[in-house]
Amino acid sequence: MLRVSYSDNPAEQRWSLCGALTGPWVDELRSSWLQARGRQARERAPQAHAVIDLRNVTFIDEAGEELLREMQSAGAELVAAGVENKDLIANLAEKNGKRTLRRRVEFLKRLCREVETNEGEKQ
């Protein structure tokens, strides 16, 4: 579940997110983003600064990461709290294959499970 609060003034458009940016909620946020940015482009110049507040986001899946990358590329400022989300934002722009902290932890967990399974089979 994701709650999106949107506010708009002449200087700034702000999306405040709370919950998990996953699955169908990614598409909902994308729709909100495109609609608001399109309306803003038609009604104002210069463009208002876009801020995506992720301080209350608990989880972001790969589709959510891709959307955030698109938003950041379009000039949005991403604001986060917590090690995991800050690391994710820091690595969004990097296209060199670096894994986010969460992806590295998931990889290490899988590797540990494989080692445990292999050792269990040897006994």
Higher pLDDT, 46 or 36: 36
pLDDT at residue 71 in the model: 93
pLDDT at residue 101 in the model: 67
Rounded to whole angstroms, how far apart are CA atoms 94 and 96? 6
Rounded to whole angstroms, how far apart are CA atoms 32 and 5? 10
Please report which residue ranges of 17-100 form alpha helices under DSSP H: 23-43, 62-73, 83-92
Rounded to whole angstroms, how far apart are CA atoms 13 and 49? 6
Q: ω before 46 within 30° of 0 (cis)?
A: yes
Task: Kindly report which listed range (1-15, 66-80, 94-108) carries the lowest average pLDDT score.
Answer: 94-108
Confidence of residue 24 (pLDDT cuts 50, 70, 90): very high
pLDDT at residue 45 in the model: 44
Tell me whether strands 49-60 and 12-21 are parallel, antiparallel or unpaired: parallel
Average pLDDT of every residue of the chain: 83
pLDDT at 31 over 50: yes
Cβ distance 93 to 65 under 8 Å?
Answer: no
Arithmetic mean of pLDDT, 81-91: 87
Question: What percent of the chain stands above pLDDT 70?
Answer: 82
Cβ distance 86 to 80 under 8 Å?
Answer: yes
Residue 74 is classified by DSSP as: T
